[in-house]
Structure 1
């Protein structure tokens, strides 16, 4: 039951971009700083990077505000940064995602973050990690 799990709270009023979200998440971690890479967020959610053992709740308050601030423009900024270091074999795919984000299409940055977190909770491929996302 989620009521027995530790609750870590991310407050959407405290950030306006991915870097701010990363700072907010890092504030919750013990002995680790997450720098905003979504692949690394997967690792954090698997455990061993300062999150509670045995499952936990990630309660994202003011998530509607985050949904707006981490929209398509934020997704485009992230993809622009990713293009600087992406492997040549992935470049075309990232460019296509960037073009879609610039048109206001495809997943927003908020959508991508939520999808990563949900993979580690009920119904996700890595549900054994026991991370429950609550959008409030």
Structure 2
């Protein structure tokens, strides 16, 4: 039986709120389902609340509101935070990505999250409503 996890996109006000909402959708109030892009990908691979057989759907309602909240401005905010603690070998890449985000170009956090779900799960797992 397919399990459906619902994200109310109108409640996504930024990346931190997204982590709270996906954690609660999968694991209940106060639940954890990643707090970073890599840990989110790991959680999607199984063992963190989703069915062992991988038979689940993430229904992302009002995803256009989330796309706005997780757009270039929020992407730049995340990259600024990363830059302060980045290894010197990664600084140039992060600075380039930050310049692109500030200019309103390049992939957004929303794009990255959607890409991670599509990459880590089977077709049809993510339903954008």
After superposition, give the CA deviation of every residue in 1:51-109 in whole Å (9 maximum; x if it has no partner): 22212101100101111111100110111111122222111101100010000010011
> What aligned pairs does 1:10-25 form with structure 2 within 5 A after superposition?
10-25=7-22
Distance 1:35 1:122, change over 3 A: closer
Q: Distance in 1 between matches of 2:80 and 2:49?
A: 29
Aligned residues: 126
Structure 2, unaligned stretches of length 5 or more? none
Q: Which runs of 5+ in 1 are unaligned?
A: 124-130
* Residue 53 (1) aligns with residue 46 (2): no
The Cα RMSD (Å) is 1.8
- Runs (4+) of structure 1 exceeding 6 A deviation are none
Distance change in 2, residues 1:135/1:50 (3 Å)? same
TM-score normalised according to structure 1 size: 0.85
C-alpha distance in 1 between matches for 2:82 and 2:34: 13
Q: TM-score, normalised by structure 2?
A: 0.89
